[in-house]
Chain A
Amino acid sequence: MTTALTLPLRRLATIAAAALLSVPAFVGQAQAEEDEIRIGILAPLTGPLASPGQEMVWGHEMFWEQKGHTVAGRDVRLVIADTACNPDQAITQARRLVDQEEVHTIIGPLCGHEGPAVAQVGRETGLPILLDPAGADEITKWTRVPSVVRTALSASQIGHPFGDYLYNELGLRSATFIGQDYTFGHEVTLGAIQTFTELGGEVDELIWTPIGTTDYGPVIAGVPSDSEAVAVTIVGADRVRLFDAWFDFGMDHRHDIIGTYWLQEDALPQVDDRAVGLISNSLNYVAGIETPENEAFVEAYAEAHNRIPSWFAESGYTASLWAHDAIEAIDGDIEDREAFLDAVRSVEIDAPRGPLRLDEYDNPIQNVYVSEVQKRDHPVLGEILMNVPVKTYEGVSQFWTWDPEEFLERGPYER
């Protein structure tokens, strides 16, 4: 009888003791320096987009190292959290940053579908969030949150100028479009098609391909044989698979391939010289921009990480720059959330990618660069492939040339 009673009791006592012992662990986390500014960074450091996530974090870290981790006389600490490109983990991590790390603002996340999840936390807590670089269109259009601003880009913002480029610069009157089959891919591709068809262009064929397509043979076999050009929006590891399939099947002898969103700087080391001369992207940043700000940025990045920055790295760097300038404008008083958000909305930024400011829907007005792959001799990295702008669309709004009201009325791009 005694054993029957003591056994569970002892077990329960053990559980209780363990719970009590863990109290310091809980409490210890909440302690934070009084005067420091804490900036939470949400980035995927594991999973399919771990490498762009890492570049993004490097961008942030590089910026604050250059500033000596201070702004307006206060120390700055970055608190980095891994979202694994999973919205569920992103929302939990955002809550952890708010409740436990007591951050003053959050910058991130990267994956498009994590954007709405993190914006939800902004809605709940009122914490200022700089959404960067998740592209989900709706955040600055149909489901805006008062404390969430975007510092990178809306997906369709880079698609719209590209339709114009196809029609007016390349003189195309019809084209085939291949788009990655998820929200970001839909928004970029359909944004380009919208402007292209409004100018009078025709779509020969529109092909959607899921993320993680291993064999692009059947995909490119669907391109109509009389189609002059093929515009592609492809992400992640698929970029290189499409590249290989395209040239291995000899498609380059039959059609021109043009990247709407395709060979970014992080993919260039994985492709060979067949890429030279291809139109690679229509994006808000390319490493080959020839301004003193960008040349300094690229050089510092190449020194530190032995590669040229992709737009993810620049996006991280610039988001931190944006936060820095806004904090400076309010003399470091980031605790005043309203003032901080107002400052983010009103400061004008000179970023590596050019001049930036927010529109009244909290999305940046910025240059969009159509770029070409060229071979360059880099002082640090030697002979490398590099994206170089061939056409700059200056001061592009997320609404392109349409009236915002009219655009919002039309609704989101959906396949």
Chain B
Amino acid sequence: MPERGALTLIFVAALVATVPLFAGDFWVSLTIKILVLGLLALSVDLLLGHAGLLSLCHAAFFAMSAYTVAILQVRYGVPMLIAVPAGLAMGTLLALVFGVSVRTRGVYFILVTIALGFIVWGVTYRWASFTGGDNGITNVPYPAIGDFQITSMTAYFYVVLLVVLGCVLAYRTLVRSPFGLVLRGLKSSESRMRSLGYSPLRHLYVAFVLSGFMASLAGVLYIYFNRFVNPATAHFHISVEAVLMAILGGTGTILGPFLGSVVIMVLRNWVSGFFPYYMTLMGLVFIVTVLFAPNGIIGLVNSWRARRARRAKTTDAVGTEPEAQPRPQP
């Protein structure tokens, strides 16, 4: 029987699955966007929350796979069954190359990833004859296998939800595996892990590539949702936003990046419709997070639960330990 954590995730997914029952197309499409960018944030968080590496180049993998799919489908009429694996492969290939950046640490790692990310952005922006430059690539066809085509937003929503749920469950297994523990060990003390006989480079490289693969998957989901891609997708802003989502929701957790995605996407796409100073509000949210919830939304909930559990312990002897203690900030 799967344990409580996995059940919680499935329950949350089931709740999300009810969105199309009571909300219009806009909310369905916004939920897709939240899920896709949440997945991107989760991929960033594999490095940030578990391995302690702050990567600012994940928009590159995201855009690489999106562009690959778009160019193959629009320019060369390649069917989706080939375009999607090709997109994932190109994004992951890029991660294999960019993975060399794990040889650096701390601020140098951040700088190297920023630079690498800008290379991809520059290519999408300047190689106009191939990538469409500023105008990007429009009119990506609906996802289709043979004659079976998904044209409705709601149908695609369920596809995205299933893929994201599968990915999240796999991610959960990964971070709880010995491999995940090694990553967390590296985050706490790299020298100690090395003295225990682990190879930090190899583990971090694999984590980087896996994280790049997840970002590529998010890119594929994104391109069939937007059916349009342009250099803004590869921009530094997207990488930063993914990191902010992870921090806002709570790093080192699974629901956290998605919660962060909810907050940012709703502010930007819904609140902006009736509140012109939504950017100020977003700034306030970040400040409040840093001051009062350094471990993000999930961290806040966890510490609140821990307090309750402690109180329960003093009155009731049967009380259990809280599931997770708030982790120290990277």
**Residue positions of A touching B, CB distance < 8 A:** 1-4, 7-8, 11-12, 15-16, 19, 23, 26-27, 29-30, 45-46, 79, 81-82, 86-89, 91-93, 95-96, 98-101, 112-113, 115-117, 119-120, 123-124, 136, 138, 143, 182-184, 186, 414-415
Contacts and interface: CB of A to CB of B under 8 A. Distances in A.
B135 interface: yes
Interface SS of chain A: helix
Contact of B26 (A96, A124, A136, A415): A96
Given A119-B138, A414-B133, A91 B24 contact: no
A120 B227 contact: yes
B232 A88 contact: yes
Contacts, number: 122
A195 B14 CA distance: 61
B179 to A, nearest CB: 27
A96 B270 contact: yes
B136 A26 contact: no
Interface of B: 4, 7-8, 11-12, 15, 18, 22-27, 29-30, 33, 125, 128-129, 133-136, 138-139, 226-228, 230-233, 237, 268-270, 272-273, 276, 278-279, 301, 305, 309, 312, 316, 318-320
B273 A89 contact: no
A183 B320 contact: no
A81 B271 CA distance: 10
Contact of B128 (A4, A115, A119, A414): A414
A136 B135 contact: yes
26 contacts: A4-B320, A8-B4, A11-B301, A19-B15, A26-B23, A26-B24, A29-B24, A82-B272, A86-B232, A87-B136, A88-B232, A89-B268, A89-B269, A92-B33, A92-B269, A93-B272, A93-B273, A99-B25, A99-B26, A99-B29, A113-B231, A115-B135, A123-B138, A123-B139, A136-B135, A143-B138
B268 A45 contact: no
A183 B134 contact: yes
A112 B27 CA distance: 27
Contacts of A101: 273
Contact of B30 (A2, A7, A12, A92): A92
A93 B278 CA distance: 14
B24 A117 contact: no
B133 A183 contact: yes
Given A8-B4, A100-B24, A91 B228 contact: yes
Given A87-B228, A414-B129, A15 B24 contact: no
Contacts of A117: 136, 138, 228, 230
B276 A82 contact: yes
B169 to A, nearest CB: 17
Given A26-B22, A87-B232, 19 more contacts: A1-B318, A3-B319, A8-B8, A19-B15, A46-B279, A82-B278, A86-B232, A88-B232, A95-B25, A95-B29, A100-B24, A112-B135, A113-B136, A113-B231, A115-B135, A116-B230, A120-B228, A123-B138, A182-B125
A2 B318 contact: yes
